[in-house]
């Protein structure tokens, strides 16, 4: 669940003060609405209850999406002049999070530190594009009686791959994945990341596929 706090804000237009809600933790995996606001650039917008002026106001928050391996500390852009100080503070917060555990959901996830929600917005927009392609791919895989395994999110971003890998056979191994990918490319050649997947699989020397994860449930199409 996402969590929020309340902060007293002074309207830059009329000077009126009012209490505004701010998200302190955003769970991208369970709050699609907030994720949409971040992508569309509306996340920081406030409307003054007195004069109705709309203005942006950033507060620090934490963005979490364990499924997509995201743990992002987002500081307001205007903290940049004191970047080192805030980086140290965020790293301290991260160390505190580690001891609290978060139920182990973020084990192995590398924290990222952003200044300004714009940086996060760009990242999530690209992720969305990757997710959409992955959903099409997973439907296509099911239609063709293939199973799907999950590609590690960080690896998918780095190599520009779909978040899922189709395969035939009992376990996701190179040969079964290669034949599934080739078959799916023959029925749909409009999935650029599937072509990247073919190249990555062809480049592997053994049967093990290093960029998939068995920690999470298998990829199963739309998860909204």
* Cβ 4 to Zn ion shortest distance, Å: 21
Q: Tokens 């999110």 sit at which residue?
A: 153
Minimum CB distance to Zn ion smaller for 9 or for 204? 9
- Cα distances (angstroms) measured from residue 74 to each of 34, 80, 114, 115, 146: 14, 11, 5, 6, 39
Q: Examine residue 51 and tell whether it contacts Zn ion (CB under 5 A).
A: yes
Q: Are strands 3-10 and 54-56 parallel, antiparallel or unpaired?
A: unpaired
Q: Examine residue 14 and tell whether it contacts Zn ion (CB under 5 A).
A: yes
Residues whose CB falls within 8 Å of the CB of residue 53, separated by 6 or more in sequence, listed in order: 11, 12, 13, 14, 47
Q: Examine residue 214 and tell whether it contacts Zn ion (CB under 5 A).
A: no
Minimum CB distance to Zn ion smaller for 10 or for 92? 10
Q: Examine residue 47 and tell whether it contacts Zn ion (CB under 5 A).
A: no
Distance of CA 154 to the CA centre of its chain: 9
| Options 3, 5, 13, 132; binder of Zn ion; rule CB under 5 A | 13
Minimum CB distance to Zn ion smaller for 48 or for 153? 48
Between residue 143 and residue 162, which ones bind Zn ion under the rule CB under 5 A?
Answer: none
Q: Please check whether residue 34 is in contact with residue 23, taking contact to mean a CB–CB distance below 8 angstroms.
A: yes
Minimum CB distance to Zn ion smaller for 9 or for 25? 9
The length of the chain is: 224
Q: Examine residue 46 and tell whether it contacts Zn ion (CB under 5 A).
A: no
The site map against Zn ion for 104-123 (x = CB under 5 A) is: --------------------
Minimum CB distance to Zn ion smaller for 19 or for 84? 19
Minimum CB distance to Zn ion smaller for 48 or for 74? 48
Q: Examine residue 48 and tell whether it contacts Zn ion (CB under 5 A).
A: yes
Angle of helix 117-143 relative to helix 174-187, nearest 10 degrees?
Answer: 90
Q: Examine residue 209 and tell whether it contacts Zn ion (CB under 5 A).
A: no
**How many Å apart are CA 191 and CA 175, to the nearest integer?**
20
- Cα distances (angstroms) measured from residue 201 to each of 5, 32, 210, 212: 47, 32, 10, 11
* Cβ 79 to Zn ion shortest distance, Å: 24
| Site of interaction with Zn ion (CB under 5 A) | 11, 13-14, 16, 48, 50-51, 53
């Amino acid at each position: 669940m996402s969590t929020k706090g309340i902060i007293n804000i002074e309207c830059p237009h009329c000077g009126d003060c009012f209490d505004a809600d701010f998200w302190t933790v955003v769970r991208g995996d369970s709050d699609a609405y907030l994720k949409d606001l971040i992508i569309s650039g509306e996340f920081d917008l406030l409307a003054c209850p007195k004069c109705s002026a709309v203005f942006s106001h950033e507060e620090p928050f934490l963005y979490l999406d364990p499924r997509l391996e995201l743990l992002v500390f987002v500081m307001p852009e205007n903290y940049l002049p004191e970047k080192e100080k805030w980086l140290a503070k965020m790293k301290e917060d991260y160390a505190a999070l580690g001891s609290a555990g978060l139920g182990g959901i973020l084990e192995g996830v590398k924290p990222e530190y952003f200044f300004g929600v714009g940086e996060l917005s760009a990242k999530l927009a690209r992720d969305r594009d990757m997710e959409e392609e992955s959903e099409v791919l997973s439907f296509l895989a099911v239609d063709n009686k293939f199973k799907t395994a999950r590609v590690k999110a960080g690896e998918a971003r780095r190599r520009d791959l779909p978040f899922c890998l189709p395969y035939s056979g009992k376990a996701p191994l190179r040969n079964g994945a290669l034949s599934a990918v080739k078959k799916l490319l023959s029925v749909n050649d409009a999935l650029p990341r599937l072509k990247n997947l073919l190249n990555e699989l062809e480049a592997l020397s053994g049967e093990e596929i290093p960029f998939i994860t068995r920690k999470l449930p298998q990829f199963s199409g739309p998860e909204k």
